[in-house]
């Protein structure tokens, strides 16, 4: 079984400040890791993913994340946020074999303020 923990339910931050959204996972098998963003009343948009290779992954809209196997973490970062980054962010994990269904965390609401 797999699980994802997003400890921060809400993260307020001022525009142009850096931000880090935390994600920790638990799994007994090898995993793929994803970050999705959801704007109000919309579906999920893929921000970035870790499948293999370099542990530092760059995604859209200036976001990046680092896979840390020893700490079972996949934290999302952005050096300078914009008002338009205000949204719900979900970390997700899937096993590398069979099914590939996603297990999501409970989400982090990023609120960017002026």
| Three-state secondary-structure class, residue 5 | strand
Extended beta strands in the chain, E state: 3-5, 10-14, 19-21, 24-26, 31-38, 44-50, 56-58, 64-68, 73-78, 87-95, 103-104, 108-113
- Chain positions 30 to 89 lying near other proteins, rule: CB under 8 A, are 32, 34, 36, 41-46, 49, 51-52
- CB nearer to other proteins: give 47 or 112: 47
Cβ(19)–Cβ(89) below 8 Å: no
- CB nearer to other proteins: give 15 or 27: 27
Q: Least distance in Å: CB of 11 to other proteins?
A: 15
Q: Which residues bind other proteins (CB under 8 A)?
A: 4, 32, 34, 36, 41-46, 49, 51-52, 90, 92, 94, 96-97, 99-107
């Amino acid at each position: 079984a797999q699980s994802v923990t997003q400890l921060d339910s809400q993260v307020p931050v001022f525009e142009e400040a850096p931000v880090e959204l935390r994600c920790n996972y638990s799994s007994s098998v090898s995993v793929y890791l994803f970050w999705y963003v959801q704007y109000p009343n919309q579906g999920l948009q893929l921000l970035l993913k870790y499948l293999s290779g370099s542990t530092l992954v760059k995604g859209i809209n200036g976001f990046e994340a680092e896979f840390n196997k020893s700490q079972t973490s996949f934290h999302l970062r952005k050096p300078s946020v914009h008002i338009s980054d205000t949204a719900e962010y979900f970390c997700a994990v899937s096993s590398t074999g069979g099914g590939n269904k996603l297990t999501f965390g409970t989400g982090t609401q990023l609120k960017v303020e002026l």
